[in-house]
Amino acid sequence: MRGIIEKLPYLHALGIEILWLSPIYKSPFIDNGYDIADYQAIDPLFGTMDDFDELLAKAKTLGIAIIMDLVVNHCSDQHDWFKQACTDPNCEEASYFYFRESVNGHAPNNLRANFGGCVWDKVPGHNNLYYCHFFAKEQPDLNWFNEKLRRRIYQMINWWLDKGVAGFRVDAIMSIGKDPTFPDFPQDALGDGMCACSAMNLQCNEATNRFLNEMQEQIFRPRQAFTVGEVFNLQAENLGKFIGDNGNFSTIFDFGPHEHVCGHCAYYAYEKLSVAQLREEIFKSQRAAADYGFLAPVIENHDEPRGVSCYLPPMWHNSLGAKALGTISMLLRGIPFIYQGQELGMLNTRFNSIEEFQDLQSKEEYRRCLRQGLSVSEALDVLNAHARDHARTPMPWNEGPHAGFTSGTPWMRLQQDYQQVNVKAQLADADSVLRHYQKLVSLKKDPALQTVLTYGSCTELNTPYANVIAYTRKLAMQSVVVAANFDEGCATLTLTRRGTLRLTSGQVFINENQLTLQPGSSAVLVLA
């Protein structure tokens, strides 16, 4: 947290107004802090509660609100609740978890955990009793059907809000919806006789929504907390339950493109999106949310590879591609999030062995690749395309040792381009990706455009080009056109009327109502 405090001026210069912190709670760090041992304590790895209070205060002076990561589908097996439950399975705390007896000498059902293996492990010291974990075995799931547990979670949330946090990013929240009878499910495509636990979640959205509605009505709405939900596989007709005036959250992340990539049983089956498919997913989400509220457009986050590497053709894995993709994402209707390093145009890291990966999911996917018959080299190629570790390497501040992130030993290797792609170098370059992101944020806040870029409709512009993404933001008589060309050749768009260029990247030309974008270029125009 001392490091975050030190970098607050950088974040302020970037123009961000909300800072989301991944978990900083006390944790054994089996899953990067998403296994929480104490929800109301700061882990010494990050600093002290005094440091946190100072961070809150100094961020506030710069107009930056802090939101925490709310991880309440599960906790750590080192949490006092779970320790007490294991000591006495008849105590109140045991009812905070899903404890079930074996069925015919086996685990209660055939669900597969998100990190591989069965969702059931034996309760320590009790041979015929199992506990449920949809993630790692060190992350026992919390029983949201228990009202006493929900009361304790709400007390904890209020405690953080009383400290001054502005709200929460709500982690893995769709996993709280379960069928407490835990029936077996038809085996899925992995062919191991098991079924992904997400299949149960999909069938239990009604229970999930009931719990979320209660949390919104009792905590978030009365406290005016800002919340962003991690919500997957949501049908368009259900968006109104999650966003907007009557929704359970202020916003939810738009995972449309990511879900398209991940619509398979394992990394080895993932397919790279074309630009046309990316465009389709973007505007499908925009159309779905138009009548309800704001989504949160994202290019990448801590659970995804770098967006430029993931979504763009190899020829645009560079600063041109990063700026053009940023232009498209940042000006969509919604509340955009910039993930650390995205504003530098960071690409995926080249990992050389499975030992260089830290993520539990990566290690499980590597095993799946080998079981599928892929060679070690082929398995590494799969991870180098899709692993979550790409977004978890240290932030490159300069070209020095450990990229200026630490004088100690970082938890992961550095991204290979850090000596060229770092904050210091890009601040010194007026044409850098970082400088372009600063201009994008500034444009969104421009008093002349802020209203249309916030509340205006977002309508796709149809073009004859497979690799062009373009749209219009419109409110009353004001229209803004946003376009990016990811093709190998020039693209010329005919606009309804003449416009004034407000921001460009690459080479862009305008002649009357004709807009021409050279390959890799982007433009923002205000129509006359």
Collapsing DSSP to helix, strand or coil, 312 comes out as coil
Planar angle of CA 447, 448, 450, nearest 5 degrees: 60
Q: Which residue's entry shows tokens 């979640």?
A: 201
* Other CB atoms within 10 A of residue 108 CB: 20
Q: How far apart are CA 202 and CA 199, in angstroms?
A: 5
Strand partners, 112: 118, 196
H or E stretch covering 386: helix 376-386
Residue 395, SS3? Answer: coil
Give the largest CA-CA distance in the chain: 78
Q: Give the list of residues 6+ apart from residue 447 with CB closer than 8 angstroms, or none.
A: none
> Residue 468: beta bridge partners?
485
Q: Are 261 and 271 in contact (CB under 8 A)?
A: yes
Strands (E), 239-320: 251-254, 296-297
Please give the C-alpha separations between residue 246 and each of 77, 221, 249, in angstroms, as whole numbers. 35, 10, 9
Q: Which of 230, 304, 389, 487 does the annotation list as catalytic? A: 230
Residues β-bridged to residue 469: 484
Structure tokens at 319: 């600063």
Long-range residue pairs from 187-192, CB within 8 A, at least 24 positions apart, any chain: 187/110, 188/112, 188/265, 189/264, 189/265, 189/269, 190/112, 190/265, 190/266, 190/368, 192/112
Phi/psi for 208 (5° steps) reads -55, -50
Number of Cβ within 10 Å of residue 21's Cβ equals: 17
* Distance of alpha carbon 219 from alpha carbon 158, whole angstroms: 7
Give the span between the Cα atoms of 69 and 72, in whole angstroms: 9
- List 35, 171, 389, 487, catalytic entry: 171
| Residue 230 known to be catalytic | yes
* β-bridge mates for residue 38, sequence order: 26
The answer to whether 100 touches 130, Cβ cutoff 8 Å, is yes
Amino acid (one-letter) located at 455: Y
Distance from the Cα of residue 323 to its chain's centroid: 20
**Catalytic positions:** 171, 230
